Amino acid sequence: MTRAVAFVIFPDFQILDAAGPIAAFEIAARFSPGAYALSVRAARAGEVASSSGARMTAEALGDAAALDTVIIAGGEGSRAAMAPGPLLDFAKGAATGARRLASVCSGAYVLAAAGLLEGRRATTHWARTRDFTRRFPDVRLEADRIWIRDGNLWTSAGITAGIDLALAMIAEDLGDGVAKRTAQQLVVYQRRPSGQSQFSALLDLDSGGRFDALLAWAREHVGEPLTVERLADRVAMSPRNFARAFAAEVGVTPAKAVERLRLETARSAVEGATCAIDVIARRSGFGDPERMRRAFVRAFGQPPQVLRRAARL
C-alpha cells in the first residue's frame, strides 16, 4: 500500500521544517519501496520562497481526503498563514479526511487557528511558548516536548524535531527496523521519544542580564549544595527577592535552573565517561542515583543507563 504524504508550505516557511521530514520519508521508501508518495502543497501552486530565500515548488492543496498524512511546516510566515482562507480550510479537511495531520514547529499556529487544537495536547518551538499560549489559551500546550500525538493530530517542536516526528510515523507505518535504518541513513543521533525535553532549550538558561555571572558560577559548582539562600547571598539579595527576580528574568525558578545545570553536567558524563552512575550522581550534585534517574526521565524521557548504551552504539 502506498501512502500519500503531503508537506504543506507557505511564504516564509522554515525550509528545514519541510526538508527534514521529506528526507526521512524519502529514505524510508528506499528501504520499503512503494511505501510513500510524497508531494509539496501550497495555497497557490508554483515556487514558494522560504524565510532563507531558497524556494520549493509546490502543487495546489487539492483534496485533503485523498491524502494519508499531511504535515504543515512552520516558520516566520506561520502567523500570516493563520488568516482565514484555503490553507485553514485544507487543514480542517485534513483533520477529518486524512489519517494523520501534523505540524512542525510553529506550524502548530495554523492548526490552532483552524480550531483543531482546542482542548488537545500539543507542542511547538520552546521560544514560541508565551505567544502561542496567549493566542490560544484553550490548547493544552506542553512546550517542553519533542513531539506529541493526540489522536490523529501530531505536533512537534522546533525544526529538527520534525525529523523525530517523521521517524515516529515511519515506525508506526513500517516498523522500528525501517525507522532505525532511516535514522542511521540520516546520521541523526537516535530516534528521540515523544516525552523527551527540547534539549537545546534545557541548556539555554543565560538571561542576557544580571544573573549570567551567577549561572556561570553555579555551573562550576554543581556538585555543591546550591540552595536559594546560597545563590541569593552570591548576588547580595534576600532569598525572597532573589527567587522572584530570578524567575522573572531567567524564566525558571532557581531550583529548576540548578537541576538543569546538573542535568547538563550529568548527561555529558553519562554519555562520555566510564565512571559509575552513582559517582556521576554525586559529582553533579544529585547525590542519590535514584534522584538523578527520576530527573533524567523527566527531562530526556530515558534513564541514564539507556542514554549511556545509546551513546556507545
105 is catalytic: yes
Please compute, for residue 222, the number of CA atoms within 13 A of its CA located in the half-sphere on the CB side.
Answer: 24
| Start-to-end C-alpha separation, the chain | 33
Asked if 72 and 98 touch (Cβ cutoff 8 Å), the reply is no
Q: What is the DSSP string of 71-88?
A: EE--SGGGTGGGSSSHHH
Instruction: Mark 11-36 as b/e (b = at least 16 C-beta within 10 Å).
Output: bbbbbbbbbbbbbbbebbbebbeebb
Helix (H/G/I), strand (E/B), else coil: 35? coil
Give residue for cell 501550497: 42
Phi-psi region of 150 (alpha: psi -120 to 50; beta: other; left: phi over 0): beta
The single residue of 6, 72, 98, 105 carrying the catalytic annotation is 105
Please compute, for residue 148, the number of CA atoms within 13 A of its CA located in the half-sphere on the CB side.
Answer: 22
The three cell numbers of residue 137 are 489559551
Alpha-carbon distances of 61 from 84, 196, 279, 311, rounded to whole Å: 15, 33, 56, 42
| Catalytic residue set | 105
